[in-house]
Structure 1
Amino acid sequence: MAQANTPQARLHRMVMPGHVCPYGLKSRWLLRRKGYEVDDRWLTTRAQTDAFKLEHGVETTPQTFIDGRRIGGYDDLRRHFGLKVRTKDQTSYVPVVAVFAVAALLAVASLWPALPAIALAERFIAIGMCLLAMLKLQDVEQFSSMFLNYDLLGRRFVPYAYFYPFAELAAGVLMLAGVLHVLSVPLALFTGSVGAVSVFKAVYVEKRELRCACVGGGSQVPLGFVSLTENLMMLAMGLWMGWRYLLPAL
């Protein structure tokens, strides 16, 4: 039995044999975290769900009621508690931060416990290139469409938009392995320089507001400093590897 001072909430959510609404689970968890005693009411059939929607004039479930007042779905519940709700078109740097954080951890783990500074920087950039390429390769078609919004070479030669993630992956893998510098260095130099010029022109010269394809075609990362940094890192890695491994051989 609920305590007298415990706030009460009623939650209507879909719980069917083939589907348990994830937003219903999130709503129940959030209510309990906020200290509410939840009257958890299941909608177990499609007919029951449709009847509930018709009765309350809503289009979606779950629906939360607090003190007899309908709060709404999961996003509405978050707003009710003063929590942030991400909009569909809201930009975010989280995907890029996640990539570089994982790249840094992998670089440290691969060299632990020595952690020589130069080797650590090399591995961080090489692993970062591999991870970014992997995200692009999840859907090359979608990536290429977003990439063509700003890449100067891709606009003139469309196949380059499909080639780019493979080139980035090849350069990253070869640099990580420390082999075939004669191939990895030109790839990094070429793709990095073209990318840097393209991003700089689109963002800082033309002042265009675009989404970056750096973490795949479906990202909400804004084109700008982060995108430029990715290309400058590739360019710097190419220059460093070329100076370190190719020039002494000439």
Structure 2
Amino acid sequence: MSQTATLYRMVTDEHICPYGLRSKDLLEQKGFSVDDHPLISREQTDTFKSKYGVETTPQTFIDDKRIGGYDDLRTYFGKGKAGQTGTTYTPVLVIFSVALLLALAFQFVVAGSYISVRTLMLFIAFSMTLLAVQKLKDLYSFTTSFITYDLLAMKWLRYGYIYPFIEAYAGIAMVAQLPALAVAPFSLFIGTVGAISVIKAVYMDKRELTCACVGGDSNVPLGFVSLSENLFMVAGALLMFVY
């Protein structure tokens, strides 16, 4: 016979508490039957908070004992803090993985094969384009992080604002197979400056920084994976000249 947990969570016309839904889902995952009590107005919510002396909802009760909010419930079940914490390479790895799958799919549709030099070019192009989108969604945040380690952006801040547009242009132009001289110099320039900047900041100066490669609000550490973005740009430029 399953245990029963009592859950109070805010469900109004203006706001459905996401942590209330997460609490309900977690309880059900753990085999609990949930006695759900939606608080359907601000007045009901305030009355509940006052009655139990709490400042937030949702609140979970098990065996008539108050467990607390969603984070407290996770602790009760021996689970760590929700969401990503600390530095992580996940955003970059996800982008590279999606770019690779796009390149394989595109190459198969166009040429009927998966592996070729063109597949590598497409992988680089899609990676550059997806990374550029991450930067362009908040240019101010990106540049605030970028100027702390990019050698050119330190000297000329405007370069930080121009950089994502160049990266997007180079990536899209590679997919479109524009002439090498119209694309490769841009990719080669920003890739070379970027690679030198990362090498100096991380491997020579030994600075611990977050990388702006997926936007200024990321927790991606500046290092080898970040350097790979710039090396891909250089490789793409050289491949355009060769092929």
TM-score, normalised on structure 1? 0.91
Q: Displacement, 1:88? A: 7.5
Q: Displacement, 1:52? A: 2.1
CA 1:222–1:59 in 2, change beyond 3 Å: closer, same or farther? farther
Which SS does the other structure have where 1:65 is aligned? strand
Q: Which sits farther off after the overlay, 54-63 or 97-106? A: 54-63
Number of the residue aligned with 1:78:
74
Q: Which sits farther off after the overlay, 173-182 or 79-88? A: 79-88
Q: Displacement, 1:89? A: 5.6
**Partner of residue 62 from structure 2, selected from 55, 63, 66:** 66
Deviations 1:106-150 (A, max 9, x none): 111111141132111111111110000011111111111111111
Unmatched runs of 5 consecutive residues or more in structure 1:
245-250
In structure 2, distance between residues paired with 1:50 and 1:158: 49
Number of the residue aligned with 1:132:
131
Number of the residue aligned with 1:148:
147
CA 1:220–1:237 in 2, change beyond 3 Å: closer, same or farther? same
Amino acid in structure 1 at the alignment position of 2:68: G
In structure 1, distance between residues paired with 2:233 and 2:82: 32
Which SS does the other structure have where 2:7 is aligned? strand
Amino acid in structure 2 at the alignment position of 1:123: L
Contact 1:153–1:194 (Cα < 8 Å) also in 2: yes
In structure 1, distance between residues paired with 2:175 and 2:137: 21
Q: Displacement, 1:86? A: 4.3
Number of the residue aligned with 1:110:
106
Number of the residue aligned with 1:248:
none
Number of the residue aligned with 1:122:
121
CA RMSD, aligned part only? Answer: 1.6
Q: Displacement, 1:75? A: 2.1
Which SS does the other structure have where 1:39 is aligned? strand
Which SS does the other structure have where 2:211 is aligned? coil
Which SS does the other structure have where 2:11 is aligned? strand
CA 1:86–1:150 in 2, change beyond 3 Å: closer, same or farther? farther
Using the aligned pairs only, state the percent identity.
Answer: 52
Q: Which sits farther off after the overlay, 204-213 or 135-144? A: 204-213
Q: For 1:24-103, what aligned pairs fall within 5 Å after superposition?
A: 24-86=20-82, 90-103=86-99
CA 1:89–1:236 in 2, change beyond 3 Å: closer, same or farther? same
Q: Displacement, 1:17? A: 1.4
Amino acid in structure 2 at the alignment position of 1:54: S
Amino acid in structure 1 at the alignment position of 2:113: A
Number of the residue aligned with 2:212:
213
Number of the residue aligned with 2:226:
227
Contact 1:211–1:222 (Cα < 8 Å) also in 2: yes
In structure 1, distance between residues paired with 2:139 and 2:77: 40
Amino acid in structure 1 at the alignment position of 2:143: S
Contact 2:121–2:239 (Cα < 8 Å) also in 1: no
Number of the residue aligned with 1:200:
199
Contact 1:174–1:181 (Cα < 8 Å) also in 2: no
Q: Displacement, 1:180? A: 2.9
Deviations 1:50-109 (A, max 9, x none): 232233333221111222222222222222222332477622222112111111111111
Contact 2:12–2:39 (Cα < 8 Å) also in 1: yes
TM-score, normalised on structure 2? 0.93
Which SS does the other structure have where 2:67 is aligned? strand
Amino acid in structure 1 at the alignment position of 2:202: V
In structure 1, distance between residues paired with 2:83 and 2:28: 25
CA 1:202–1:55 in 2, change beyond 3 Å: closer, same or farther? farther
Aligned residues: 240
Contact 2:145–2:211 (Cα < 8 Å) also in 1: yes
Q: Displacement, 1:213? A: 0.7
